[in-house]
Amino acid sequence: MIKTIARLSLLCLMMLVLAPVATGLAGEPAGAAVVEIGAQLPLWSALPFAGILLSIALLPLAVPRFWHHHFPKVSAFWALVFAAPFLYFFREAAVHEIAHILLIDYVPFILLLWALYTVSGGIYVRGSLTGSPAVNAVILLIGTLLASVIGTTGASMLLIRPILRSNAWRVHKVHTVVFFIFLVSNIGGALTPLGDPPLFLGFLHGVPFFWTLNILPQMAFASVVLLILYFIVDSHYYRKESRTAAPETTPEPIRIEGKRNFVFLGGVIAAVLFSGTVHLGEVDLFGIHQTIENLIKDATLIAMGLLSLKLTKKDVRQGNEFTWAPILEVAYLFAGIFVTIIPALDILKAGEQGALAALIRRVDSPAQYFWAVGLLSSFLDNAPTYLTFFNSALGKFYPGLPEAPAVARLIVEKIPYLAAISAGAVFMGANTYIGNAPNFMVKSIAEEAGVKMPSFLGYMLKYSIPILVVLFIVVTFIFF
């Protein structure tokens, strides 16, 4: 365990070391001195990002042994393919962009996942969970409701192990993990700003905390349809299971061990909420402006994870079959993803001055907002995607009006538009493994437990396109 913690710590330390070295070379690139890179980058600059996605999709199938042993090197390769020419052509501005995404986005992203993964790994649900369609559907329902309270990542990390254990005896269980990603890791987080990062961004920009309850009809419809469909599919597969494979044990009441980890889980959620609602000023960290509240949040996340490791009994984690492999896989792969995604995000942030200007200009109706935001959120970070189209709507409907009064009017006069932007960003994160933070983590934990999850393309072709895309078309006609 110490060795794996050291490896993960070394990865984050490398990011923290590389960033000051880079920014030291860059001098003072912040603010107006930074070139508006997004307006200059062509779409083909995102090819390394496409390359790493294709590698994740194809290499585990084509050369599984190579991928298992060398996926960190593949991630590093694509990061260098992008970073080398990017640094050559844009120099100081490029250095600042890379350092910024590592310090402001990647390290907090990994720290949050690590804290939630560590804390949830110390919560062990013991008892008789048979993995029947009814039991599975109830767990999915609970997770869907919890996702808006403790976030999609928190709910996913808390419940993925119990549902995997209850279905360990079953042959057909891939679909259960997939629907778990659909509901708990994505759609369930649509009702509050705590549920998913894009909604939290909206809250920070003046959208009232409970405004997102306007998405309740869409969220309820999508969730009920998926739960009914899941129950039908799982009942079909359940009838195929050999009953002799089911565990023949004396019924044991459900009980939870490691309860103190709920305190640490609350600490993680409180830290995230604190960072978004309290403003304590900024500090210059290696040339990158970082808010004090975010540094306090990150320190709290580390403290919660370390306290969980220190105070949780070993047999609790052993019961959960807790290992560091899933979080290490996510850390290595997303290091490459975060670097190569820079041009796509910069082009998106450039709005009508960037290479996606034609798309942004043509988005006009709620349905178009729903699909534009959703399709981009399927592959890019859904938080900046949400913010781009949020600002686009403000500019379209209230040009020249300051943000605060414009938002005050938007949330009253243009409810379908903001609802479409919000639902697209949250719902369609389920379309791919990288559409939302917990998706890939759930996949990794399931594979660690022996579930043969579909490949990146297999997930889309077999599940998300025929199920989710069809569902979202129906949602469009009914609500948008």
Domain count, the chain: 1
In a domain, 38, yes or no: no
Query: What is the residue-averaged pLDDT of the chain?
Result: 82
Dihedral sign, CA of 348, 354, 355, 356? positive
Distance (Å, whole) CA 251 – CA 466? 38
Does residue 35 lie in a domain region? no
Instruction: Kindly state the tokens that stand for 105.
Output: 């986005």
Instruction: Please tell me the distance from the alpha carbon of residue 264 to that of residue 310, in angstroms, as a whole number.
Output: 12
Looking at residue 9, what is its pLDDT? 43
* Domain that includes residue 311, residue range: 2-26+43-479
Q: Does some domain include residue 187?
A: yes
Q: Report yes or no: 153 and 143 within 8 Å, Cβ to Cβ.
A: no
Per-residue pLDDT tens over the stretch 233-257: 999 998 887 655 555 555 567 777 8
Quick one: pLDDT at residue 461?
Answer: 92
CA–CA dist 157, 347 (Å, integer): 33
Question: For the chain, give me the number of helices (H) and strands (E)?
Answer: 21, 4
Quick: pLDDT tens for 307-361: 999 998 888 888 777 888 888 888 888 888 888 888 887 777 777 777 777 777 7
Is-above-0.85 flag for pTM? no
Tokens at 423, concatenated: 């639902």
Question: Is 388 within 8 Å of 183 (Cβ atoms)?
Answer: no
Residue 33: inside a domain, yes or no? no
Q: Flag whether 466 is in a domain.
A: yes
Q: Is residue 415 part of a domain?
A: yes
- Give pLDDT, residue 218: 94
Check if the beta carbon of residue 370 is closer than 8 Å to that of residue 476: yes
Q: Is residue 474 part of a domain?
A: yes
Which tens digits make up the pLDDT trace of 404-453?
788 888 888 888 999 999 999 999 999 998 888 788 889 988 988 889 99
Q: What angle do CA 414, 372, 393 make, to 5 degrees?
A: 30
Token pair in block for residue 47: 């090819």
The segments of the chain whose pLDDT lies below 50 read 1-2, 4-6, 8-35
Q: Is residue 303 one of the residues assigned to a domain?
A: yes
